[in-house]
Amino acid sequence: MSQLKIENLHVEIEGKEILRGVSLEVNSHEIHAIMGPNGNGKSTLLSAIMGHPKYEITQGTVTFDGEDLLSKGVDERARAGLFLGMQYPQEVSGVTNSDFLKAALNSRRETPIPLFSFIRLMEKAIGELQMKSDMAHRYVNDGFSGGEKKRNEILQMMLLQPKIAMLDEIDSGLDVDALKVVANVVNDMVAKSDVGMMIVSHYERFFHLIIPTHTHILIDGRIVMSSDASLVNRIDTEGYDWIAKETGVNIIKEDTVRPVVGSIGACAANEPRGPKNA
Amino acid sequence: MREVTLNLTSHQSLTVANDALTSINYMVEGDSNLTIIAPKRTKGSIFLTINGNGNLNLRVSIESDSNWSMLIMNQSDLQLNINESFSLQRYASLQLAIGELSLGTHVKNSVYHLLEEGAVLNVRGASLIQSKLTASYSALHYKGNTSAQIDNYSIVLKGCEYTLDIIGNIHKAAKGAKTHQISRVMNFDEKPKTSVNPKLIIDENDVEASHAASVGQPDLNQVYYLQSRGLSRSESLKLITLGYLLPIIEVIDDENIKERLSLEITKKVSESCLM
């Protein structure tokens, strides 16, 4: 059984505070829906937990199975069992999906995965996701459609079998049929493994296919309301304004917030990780 | 396809056999000359591995109506100066892959003569600069409807130097000629000593010519993405480097050479220090 515990998390990007004290606990078998208007900190929360070097954690703690996560590098977090399905998956030209996935699997193993086992594993996952069979031989996300990129994220999650998976708007770019395929795979994974999930989406339709055990509303860098799946339905019909009125918070309009993180920059990978004041 | 293997040194001239893979292990000793002739109406593959120390004059002649693939691997970890001259006759076609993956200090001057109508040249270079490489590639179009595509993908490691001059020259009377270049360099040094100088010299109308050159550092968004799947920074950089260099094998038709080249690049990248 696994647990991701976030306490009083404050995160800045280029000096602007985006998260202002988020606390959350995600356990195995739980599905946490993170909802909220655009530009209020949902993606920042997931990226900061994964360790994106542009996000500076100024306060708070994150532990994974009792161990401090923030002192670990991105790759160590991944090998510990954390996964982030990204909103904008990176293209890596020249590197095939199969070489990439093999390297990712081997990074978690003492001895390399036998080729036959790897092929069987990959073909099974490709079949379940109804992806094209040439997917393994194509370069990572290079020339992929939006939907193919998102399925490729789910493919990686299936093979890497994380303990806690975070999905950032994984539903955007997927048509109705693809959405069902991805939802079935996610539901199946939750039912058959000990994985816990944090799923960010601002489309309610995804949470009609994947029923969350918990729903959190993130506005202006804080979780202002938490409930069960019923909250999704209310947002579906009434939007977020009623929450702002009830809780007294201001919804941040996307065009007034921080610069979007598009590029890490040349020196970012050497930046120290962990809380600024640690 | 049958395979012929030759171990050569000093001054040599040879005619390659039709419909065969000719593997040549060539040792440079002082001033050396090697001439390779692919006769008229032949096809096949040539795999040339170069070792040693000194000066090499390499002449390759692809005669008319021939279709050849060639891989040149420079494996010399020593000082080496190479002057290469390739001549392509009427409707001759050459797919050329060049691997510069050694620890040596090399100066290289390659001239491709597209002598007659219909000659087609396709060059793909993969360089892992671990010391110093000064290279020049020139495609000279003498006649019409000749075509040259020269692509170079290079990685320059910390403390190393790379100079690349790349020239497309379309002469008068070469109507319909096409000359294109792509030069991409990835530096692992924050203060790199890299210079890429593309040049197009056009002396005729009704031609196609282009050059694209980029010099940069590894894309750290890619590094982050790979690390988020569990690969260490070092493993991520190696995978990105392989992704940069390995597409060179697409130039080669022969599966045997493809496999050898792929293994060689993977081995060299694994052995190198990319951090």
Rounded-to-integer distance, Cα A46 and Cα B53, Å: 55
Q: Nearest C-alpha of chain A: how many angstroms from B75?
A: 24
Q: Nearest C-alpha of chain B: how many angstroms from A81?
A: 9
Q: CB-based contact (8 Å) between B229 and chain A?
A: yes
Question: The tokens of A194 are what?
Answer: 């000990």
Backbone angles phi, psi at A128, to 5 degrees: -65, -35
Question: The tokens of A267 are what?
Answer: 């020196």
List of residues 6+ apart from A240 with CB closer than 8 A: A36, A37, A217, A219, A251
Query: Within its chain, how far is the Cα of B121 from the centroid?
Result: 12
Q: Are strands A222-227 and A214-219 parallel, antiparallel or unpaired?
A: antiparallel
For B25-53, write each residue's pLDDT tens digit.
Answer: 999 999 999 999 999 999 999 999 999 99
Contact A94 B230 (CB under 8 A): no
What is the mean predicted confidence (pLDDT) over A142-170? Answer: 95
Q: Return the ∠ at Cα A16 (arms to A12 and A20), rounded to 5°.
A: 60
Rounded-to-integer distance, Cα B134 and Cα B49, Å: 19
Q: Is the pLDDT of residue A231 over 70?
A: yes
Nearest to A262 by CA among A59, A87, A80: A87
pLDDT at res. B252 = 81
Rounded-to-integer distance, Cα A269 and Cα A227, Å: 38
Rounded-to-integer distance, Cα A124 and Cα A121, Å: 5
pLDDT at res. B68 = 95
| Chain A residues lying within 8 Å of B244, measured CB to CB | 94
Contact B224 A53 (CB under 8 A): yes
Q: Residue B4: CA atoms inside 13 Å, Cβ hemisphere, count?
A: 14
CB atoms within 10 A of CB B268: 20
pLDDT at res. B256 = 80
Q: What b-and-e string marks burial along A229-265, b requiring 16 or more CB atoms within 10 Å of the CB?
A: bebbeebeeeebeebbeeeebebbeeeebbeebeebe
Q: Who among B227, B244, B246 is closest to A78 (CB)?
A: B227
Return the H-helix or E-strand segment holding B8.
strand B2-9
- Per the DSSP assignment, residues forming a β-bridge with B51 are B27
| Chain B residues lying within 8 Å of A266, measured CB to CB | 190, 217, 220
Contact A78 B229 (CB under 8 A): yes
Domains of chain A: 3-91+163-270 (3.40.50.300)
Q: Is the pLDDT of residue B275 over 70?
A: no
Q: CB-based contact (8 Å) between B206 and chain A?
A: no
Contact B221 A92 (CB under 8 A): no
Question: The tokens of A156 are what?
Answer: 């990686």
Return the H-helix or E-strand segment holding A122.
helix A115-128
Nearest to B129 by CA among B152, B103, B110: B103
Contact between B133 and B108 under an 8 Å Cβ cutoff? The reply is yes
Q: Which of A6-10, A258-262, B80-84 has the lowest mean pLDDT?
A: A258-262
| Chain A residues lying within 8 Å of B233, measured CB to CB | 73, 75, 269
| Chain A residues lying within 8 Å of B215, measured CB to CB | none
Q: Are strands B67-74 and B208-216 parallel, antiparallel or unpaired?
A: unpaired
- State the average pLDDT for chain B: 94
Q: Nearest C-alpha of chain B: how many angstroms from A6?
A: 19
What is the ipTM metric for this complex?
Answer: 0.90
Rounded-to-integer distance, Cα B218 and Cα B92, Å: 38
Nearest to B252 by CA among B128, B20, B68, B33: B68
Q: Is the pLDDT of residue B188 over 60?
A: yes
Q: Is the pLDDT of residue A265 over 50?
A: no
Q: Is the pLDDT of residue A259 over 80?
A: no
Contact between A275 and B227 under an 8 Å Cβ cutoff? The reply is no
Contact A78 B233 (CB under 8 A): no
pLDDT at res. B150 = 97
Question: The tokens of B125 are what?
Answer: 């270079």
The residue written with tokens 């000066």 in the block is B55
DSSP code for A90? P
Q: Nearest C-alpha of chain A: how many angstroms from B183?
A: 16
pLDDT at res. B273 = 72
What is the mean predicted confidence (pLDDT) over A200-217? Answer: 91
Rounded-to-integer distance, Cα A277 and Cα A163, Å: 29
pLDDT at res. B259 = 87
The residue written with tokens 């593309």 in the block is B198
Rounded-to-integer distance, Cα B29 and Cα B189, Å: 33
Q: Which of A15-29, A156-170, B1-15 has the lowest mean pLDDT?
A: B1-15
